Chain A
Amino acid sequence: AQTVTQSQPEMSVQEAETVTLSCTYDTSESDYYLFWYKQPPSRQMILVIRQEAYKQQNATENRFSVNFQKAAKSFSLKISDSQLGDAAMYFCAYGPSNAGGTSYGKLTFGQGTILTVHP
């Protein structure tokens, strides 16, 4: 079974600074997807960034980028030029790509990291 671990329950950053959130996962699959989701106080989960395991290039979305280390099974999120609106709970998630597998259609989430942004 796949597991996702976020070892930082809480992180804080000053506005305009950079912060990195950590995530490790465990899987025996070679092809899969990894995600970072943001959950603000409104509770709605918002997809921040997605990485496909077969792609070596790290995904980037504006101020958000990842450091994907497949061999180490590590998937960290870097937020540059942090803004007050970035304050939220961030979840790392794993999704299998095997359409025939028993895990297909299901995401495995980490416990989340609460990010506080100080003005």
Chain B
Amino acid sequence: EAGVTQSPTHLIKTRGQQATLRCSPISGHTSVYWYQQALGLGLQFLLWYDEGEERNRGNFPPRFSGRQFPNYSSELNVNALELEDSALYLCASSLVGGRFYTEAFFGQGTRLTVV
């Protein structure tokens, strides 16, 4: 069974541009979570999508947005990129919305570099 897959693996953008990151959950999982892992800051919760709707949001500006498609895959968009947006972006999925604790699995992340 395929795990959580994220694309692209690496992404280099210029300050001010937009970045789009993609995540495919494990088959059957309806919830997708996004985390930012910046150097020295641990993992910070970004967004939680379940059944196509945004269920919770972390303390990030509105230029961080996303969506979940009918097939439960998800997209994270970061507009007006800033240098401090450079980080590893991790996606996780779980079988039941919010029941992260027993059934969540992480992807390998997208390394975003803003120059």
Contact = CB atoms under 8 A, between A and B. Distances in A.
Interface of A: 33, 35, 42-47, 50, 91, 93, 95, 99, 102-112
Nearest to B44: A109
Interface in B73-115: 88, 90, 92, 97-98, 100-102, 104, 106-109
A49 B92 CA distance: 17
14 contacts: A35-B101, A45-B43, A46-B106, A47-B104, A95-B100, A95-B101, A99-B98, A105-B31, A105-B97, A107-B45, A108-B45, A109-B44, A111-B40, A112-B42
B41 interface: yes
Contacts of B72: none
B114 to A, nearest CB: 18
B45 A50 contact: no
A66 to B, nearest CB: 15
